[in-house]
Amino acid sequence: MTIADETQPDGETSGDDISGLILAHLETRAERNAAEAQAISLAYDKYIFEARRKKQGARWLTDEFIRTVHQDLLGSIWDWAGKYRTENLNIGMDWRHIPEQVRLLCDDFLHWDSPTSPMPILEVAARLQNRLTKIHLFRNGNGRHARLITDIFFHSRQHPFPEWPQTHLMSEGHLVRAQYIAAMRDADQGDFSLLVKFFEAYLPNRS
Q: What is the pLDDT of residues 65-119, one digit of tens each?
A: 999 999 999 999 999 999 999 999 999 999 999 999 999 999 999 999 999 999 9
Higher pLDDT, 71 or 57: 71
Name the residue ranges covered by the structural domains of the chain: 29-165
Q: How far apart are CA 186 and CA 181, in angstroms?
A: 9
CATH number belonging to domain 29-165: 1.10.3290.10
**% of the chain at pLDDT higher than 90:** 70
Measure CA of the first residue to CA of the last residue in the chain; give whole Å: 19
Q: How far apart are CA 32 and CA 46, in angstroms?
A: 21
Tell whether pTM > 0.75.
yes
- pLDDT attached to residue 3: 34
